[in-house]
Amino acid sequence: MYLLIFIGLFLVGIPHGAMDHKTGLFSDNKKINLFFIFKYLGVMLIAYILWFISPTVALVAFILYSAWHFGETDIQEWKINSRFVGFLWGLIMFSALFFSHVSELNVILKALSVQQLPLELPWLGLFFWSLTISFLLARLHQSLPWLLLTCFLALSYWLPLVMAFAIYFVFHHSWSGWKHLRTSFKVSNWSLFKTALPFNLGAFVLFVVLFLNTRMGWDYNIAQIFIFISCISLPHILSMSYFYKKLKTKRV
Protein backbone atom coordinates (compact mmCIF):
# COMPACT_ATOMS: atom_id res chain seq x y z
CA MET A 1 0.00 0.00 0.00
CA TYR A 2 2.82 2.40 0.84
CA LEU A 3 4.37 1.73 -2.58
CA LEU A 4 1.08 2.65 -4.26
CA ILE A 5 0.89 5.83 -2.17
CA PHE A 6 4.47 6.73 -3.12
CA ILE A 7 3.70 6.27 -6.82
CA GLY A 8 0.56 8.39 -6.48
CA LEU A 9 2.51 11.03 -4.58
CA PHE A 10 5.04 11.23 -7.42
CA LEU A 11 2.43 11.24 -10.21
CA VAL A 12 -0.16 13.68 -8.82
CA GLY A 13 0.50 14.42 -5.13
CA ILE A 14 3.59 16.58 -5.57
CA PRO A 15 2.93 17.66 -9.20
CA HIS A 16 -0.51 19.12 -8.36
CA GLY A 17 1.31 21.53 -6.06
CA ALA A 18 3.97 22.31 -8.65
CA MET A 19 1.70 24.35 -10.89
CA ASP A 20 1.48 27.38 -8.62
CA HIS A 21 3.23 29.63 -11.13
CA LYS A 22 0.37 28.95 -13.55
CA THR A 23 -2.21 30.40 -11.17
CA GLY A 24 -0.74 33.88 -11.62
CA LEU A 25 -0.58 34.88 -7.94
CA PHE A 26 3.21 34.98 -7.68
CA SER A 27 3.98 35.28 -11.39
CA ASP A 28 2.15 37.72 -13.68
CA ASN A 29 3.37 35.93 -16.81
CA LYS A 30 2.64 32.51 -15.24
CA LYS A 31 6.26 31.38 -15.63
CA ILE A 32 8.92 30.26 -13.17
CA ASN A 33 11.41 33.12 -13.00
CA LEU A 34 13.62 34.70 -10.34
CA PHE A 35 10.86 37.08 -9.24
CA PHE A 36 8.44 34.16 -8.77
CA ILE A 37 11.05 32.13 -6.85
CA PHE A 38 11.90 35.12 -4.62
CA LYS A 39 8.26 35.74 -3.67
CA TYR A 40 7.51 32.03 -3.22
CA LEU A 41 10.51 31.48 -0.96
CA GLY A 42 9.63 34.65 0.94
CA VAL A 43 6.24 33.25 1.92
CA MET A 44 7.87 29.95 2.87
CA LEU A 45 10.35 31.87 5.04
CA ILE A 46 7.51 33.50 6.98
CA ALA A 47 6.13 30.06 7.86
CA TYR A 48 9.62 28.79 8.74
CA ILE A 49 10.35 31.73 11.08
CA LEU A 50 7.07 31.07 12.88
CA TRP A 51 8.33 27.60 13.82
CA PHE A 52 11.28 29.23 15.61
CA ILE A 53 9.06 31.75 17.40
CA SER A 54 6.44 29.24 18.56
CA PRO A 55 6.13 25.63 17.32
CA THR A 56 2.64 25.43 18.82
CA VAL A 57 1.37 28.53 17.01
CA ALA A 58 3.06 27.37 13.79
CA LEU A 59 1.38 23.95 14.05
CA VAL A 60 -2.07 25.40 14.74
CA ALA A 61 -1.64 27.81 11.83
CA PHE A 62 -0.57 24.93 9.57
CA ILE A 63 -3.65 22.90 10.51
CA LEU A 64 -5.95 25.89 9.96
CA TYR A 65 -4.67 26.87 6.53
CA SER A 66 -4.50 23.21 5.48
CA ALA A 67 -8.12 22.70 6.59
CA TRP A 68 -9.09 25.74 4.54
CA HIS A 69 -7.26 24.39 1.49
CA PHE A 70 -8.60 20.83 1.65
CA GLY A 71 -12.12 22.11 2.22
CA GLU A 72 -11.84 24.65 -0.60
CA THR A 73 -10.74 21.94 -3.02
CA ASP A 74 -13.52 19.59 -1.95
CA ILE A 75 -16.36 22.11 -2.20
CA GLN A 76 -15.10 22.98 -5.69
CA GLU A 77 -15.30 19.29 -6.57
CA TRP A 78 -18.70 18.88 -4.92
CA LYS A 79 -20.08 22.16 -6.34
CA ILE A 80 -20.93 23.59 -2.93
CA ASN A 81 -20.81 27.38 -2.97
CA SER A 82 -19.75 28.10 0.62
CA ARG A 83 -16.18 28.61 1.78
CA PHE A 84 -17.35 28.40 5.38
CA VAL A 85 -18.73 24.90 4.75
CA GLY A 86 -15.45 23.98 3.07
CA PHE A 87 -13.41 25.23 6.04
CA LEU A 88 -15.72 23.43 8.46
CA TRP A 89 -15.30 20.19 6.51
CA GLY A 90 -11.51 20.60 6.54
CA LEU A 91 -11.54 21.00 10.32
CA ILE A 92 -13.82 17.97 10.70
CA MET A 93 -11.52 15.87 8.52
CA PHE A 94 -8.46 16.72 10.61
CA SER A 95 -10.40 16.28 13.86
CA ALA A 96 -11.58 12.80 12.87
CA LEU A 97 -8.07 11.70 11.92
CA PHE A 98 -6.43 13.17 15.03
CA PHE A 99 -9.09 12.09 17.55
CA SER A 100 -8.83 8.48 16.34
CA HIS A 101 -5.00 8.40 16.40
CA VAL A 102 -4.00 10.39 19.48
CA SER A 103 -1.08 8.12 20.45
CA GLU A 104 0.46 8.39 16.98
CA LEU A 105 -0.24 12.12 16.89
CA ASN A 106 1.61 12.56 20.18
CA VAL A 107 4.74 11.01 18.66
CA ILE A 108 4.68 13.73 15.99
CA LEU A 109 3.93 16.46 18.54
CA LYS A 110 6.89 15.37 20.66
CA ALA A 111 9.20 15.49 17.63
CA LEU A 112 7.96 19.02 16.91
CA SER A 113 8.50 20.13 20.54
CA VAL A 114 4.76 20.74 20.93
CA GLN A 115 2.74 19.87 24.06
CA GLN A 116 1.32 16.35 23.75
CA LEU A 117 -2.38 15.62 24.15
CA PRO A 118 -3.55 13.91 27.37
CA LEU A 119 -4.61 10.35 26.61
CA GLU A 120 -7.29 10.26 29.30
CA LEU A 121 -9.65 12.62 27.46
CA PRO A 122 -12.64 11.05 25.61
CA TRP A 123 -11.05 11.21 22.17
CA LEU A 124 -13.11 8.36 20.71
CA GLY A 125 -16.29 10.17 21.71
CA LEU A 126 -15.05 13.29 19.92
CA PHE A 127 -14.14 11.10 16.94
CA PHE A 128 -17.71 9.78 16.86
CA TRP A 129 -19.17 13.30 17.01
CA SER A 130 -16.93 14.55 14.22
CA LEU A 131 -18.18 11.68 12.05
CA THR A 132 -21.78 12.46 13.00
CA ILE A 133 -21.43 16.14 12.05
CA SER A 134 -19.75 15.17 8.78
CA PHE A 135 -22.56 12.72 7.98
CA LEU A 136 -25.24 15.33 8.71
CA LEU A 137 -23.52 17.92 6.52
CA ALA A 138 -23.17 15.39 3.71
CA ARG A 139 -26.89 14.65 3.96
CA LEU A 140 -27.75 18.35 4.13
CA HIS A 141 -25.83 19.07 0.93
CA GLN A 142 -26.94 15.78 -0.67
CA SER A 143 -23.34 14.90 -1.48
CA LEU A 144 -22.57 11.23 -2.03
CA PRO A 145 -18.78 11.83 -2.35
CA TRP A 146 -18.83 13.62 1.02
CA LEU A 147 -20.76 10.71 2.54
CA LEU A 148 -18.20 8.25 1.14
CA LEU A 149 -15.35 10.30 2.61
CA THR A 150 -17.10 10.20 5.97
CA CYS A 151 -17.19 6.41 5.70
CA PHE A 152 -13.48 6.45 4.87
CA LEU A 153 -12.78 8.53 7.99
CA ALA A 154 -14.68 5.96 10.05
CA LEU A 155 -12.63 3.11 8.55
CA SER A 156 -9.40 5.07 9.01
CA TYR A 157 -9.62 4.22 12.72
CA TRP A 158 -8.07 0.86 11.80
CA LEU A 159 -5.29 2.40 9.70
CA PRO A 160 -2.06 4.07 10.81
CA LEU A 161 -2.41 7.87 10.97
CA VAL A 162 0.16 8.56 8.25
CA MET A 163 -1.37 6.00 5.88
CA ALA A 164 -4.92 7.28 6.45
CA PHE A 165 -3.91 10.86 5.71
CA ALA A 166 -1.76 9.83 2.73
CA ILE A 167 -4.69 7.96 1.16
CA TYR A 168 -6.90 11.04 1.50
CA PHE A 169 -4.17 13.41 0.30
CA VAL A 170 -3.00 11.44 -2.73
CA PHE A 171 -6.07 9.64 -4.01
CA HIS A 172 -8.68 12.27 -3.21
CA HIS A 173 -7.31 15.76 -2.59
CA SER A 174 -4.38 15.75 -5.02
CA TRP A 175 -6.37 14.06 -7.77
CA SER A 176 -9.21 16.57 -7.36
CA GLY A 177 -6.80 19.51 -7.50
CA TRP A 178 -5.04 17.96 -10.49
CA LYS A 179 -8.34 17.61 -12.38
CA HIS A 180 -9.28 21.22 -11.65
CA LEU A 181 -5.94 22.48 -13.00
CA ARG A 182 -5.99 20.20 -16.04
CA THR A 183 -9.54 21.17 -16.96
CA SER A 184 -8.93 24.88 -16.45
CA PHE A 185 -5.69 24.97 -18.45
CA LYS A 186 -7.13 22.61 -21.10
CA VAL A 187 -4.08 20.35 -21.22
CA SER A 188 -3.43 16.60 -21.02
CA ASN A 189 -2.23 14.76 -17.92
CA TRP A 190 1.18 14.23 -19.52
CA SER A 191 1.54 17.89 -20.49
CA LEU A 192 0.63 18.98 -16.97
CA PHE A 193 3.11 16.52 -15.47
CA LYS A 194 5.95 17.78 -17.70
CA THR A 195 5.17 21.38 -16.78
CA ALA A 196 5.28 20.51 -13.08
CA LEU A 197 8.52 18.49 -13.24
CA PRO A 198 11.07 21.36 -12.82
CA PHE A 199 9.23 22.64 -9.76
CA ASN A 200 9.09 19.11 -8.32
CA LEU A 201 12.85 18.70 -8.68
CA GLY A 202 13.49 22.14 -7.20
CA ALA A 203 11.38 21.36 -4.13
CA PHE A 204 13.18 18.04 -3.65
CA VAL A 205 16.62 19.68 -3.87
CA LEU A 206 15.54 22.44 -1.46
CA PHE A 207 14.39 19.86 1.08
CA VAL A 208 17.55 17.73 0.84
CA VAL A 209 19.92 20.70 1.06
CA LEU A 210 18.23 22.82 3.73
CA PHE A 211 16.14 20.43 5.84
CA LEU A 212 17.34 16.81 5.68
CA ASN A 213 20.20 15.85 8.00
CA THR A 214 21.30 12.20 7.79
CA ARG A 215 23.55 12.61 10.84
CA MET A 216 20.55 13.28 13.06
CA GLY A 217 18.01 10.75 14.29
CA TRP A 218 14.70 9.67 12.81
CA ASP A 219 12.63 11.92 15.09
CA TYR A 220 14.60 14.98 14.00
CA ASN A 221 14.09 14.27 10.33
CA ILE A 222 10.38 13.48 10.79
CA ALA A 223 10.02 16.91 12.40
CA GLN A 224 11.97 18.52 9.55
CA ILE A 225 9.80 16.82 6.94
CA PHE A 226 6.69 18.09 8.72
CA ILE A 227 8.07 21.64 8.99
CA PHE A 228 9.12 21.63 5.34
CA ILE A 229 5.64 20.53 4.25
CA SER A 230 4.07 23.29 6.33
CA CYS A 231 6.39 25.89 4.78
CA ILE A 232 5.91 24.83 1.17
CA SER A 233 2.16 24.43 1.72
CA LEU A 234 1.54 28.09 2.60
CA PRO A 235 2.39 29.64 -0.81
CA HIS A 236 0.70 26.68 -2.54
CA ILE A 237 -2.51 27.21 -0.58
CA LEU A 238 -2.47 30.94 -1.32
CA SER A 239 -1.92 30.16 -5.01
CA MET A 240 -4.76 27.63 -5.17
CA SER A 241 -7.14 29.89 -3.27
CA TYR A 242 -6.38 32.60 -5.85
CA PHE A 243 -6.93 30.03 -8.61
CA TYR A 244 -10.33 28.95 -7.26
CA LYS A 245 -11.39 32.57 -6.81
CA LYS A 246 -10.57 33.26 -10.47
CA LEU A 247 -12.21 30.01 -11.51
CA LYS A 248 -15.51 31.20 -10.07
CA THR A 249 -15.31 34.30 -12.26
CA LYS A 250 -14.02 32.31 -15.27
CA ARG A 251 -10.79 34.30 -15.47
CA VAL A 252 -8.13 31.57 -15.15
- Is the pLDDT reported for residue 196 higher than 80? no
Identify the DSSP state of 165: H
Count how many domains the chain has. 1
- Phi first, then psi, for residue 142 (nearest 5°) are 50, 50
What sign does the CA torsion over 58, 87, 5, 96 have? positive
Residue 108 lies inside a defined structural domain of this protein: yes
Residue 232 lies inside a defined structural domain of this protein: yes
The predicted pLDDT at position 228 comes to 84
- Is the pLDDT reported for residue 222 higher than 80? no
What sign does the CA torsion over 179, 182, 187, 189 have? negative
Amino acid at the residue 127: F
DSSP H or E run through 117: none
Mean pLDDT of 16-37: 77
pLDDT tens string 32-68? 788 888 998 999 999 999 999 999 999 999 999 999 9
The predicted pLDDT at position 88 comes to 97
Look up the pTM and report it: 0.88
Q: What percent of the chain has pLDDT over 90?
A: 50
The predicted pLDDT at position 22 comes to 78
CB 25 within 8 A of CB 239: yes
Question: Which range marks the domain in which residue 105 is found?
Answer: 13-248
User: How far apart, in whole angstroms, are the C-alpha atoms of residue 141 and residue 130?
Assistant: 17
The confidence band for 20, taking pLDDT boundaries of 50, 70 and 90, is confident
**Rounded to the nearest 5 degrees, what angle is found at the Cα of 222, between the Cα atoms of 177 and 118?**
95
User: How far apart, in whole angstroms, are the C-alpha atoms of residue 64 and residue 251?
Assistant: 27
The confidence band for 193, taking pLDDT boundaries of 50, 70 and 90, is confident
Identify the DSSP state of 16: G
The confidence band for 252, taking pLDDT boundaries of 50, 70 and 90, is very low
pLDDT tens string 90-103? 999 999 999 999 99
End-to-end alpha-carbon separation of the chain, Å? 36
27-41, 56-70, 116-130, 186-200: which has the minimum mean pLDDT? Answer: 186-200
Residue 179 lies inside a defined structural domain of this protein: yes
- Phi first, then psi, for residue 251 (nearest 5°) are -120, 20
Of the two residues 193 and 12, the one the predictor is more confident about is 193
45-54, 73-82, 213-222: which has the minimum mean pLDDT? Answer: 213-222
User: How far apart, in whole angstroms, are the C-alpha atoms of residue 184 and residue 250?
Assistant: 9
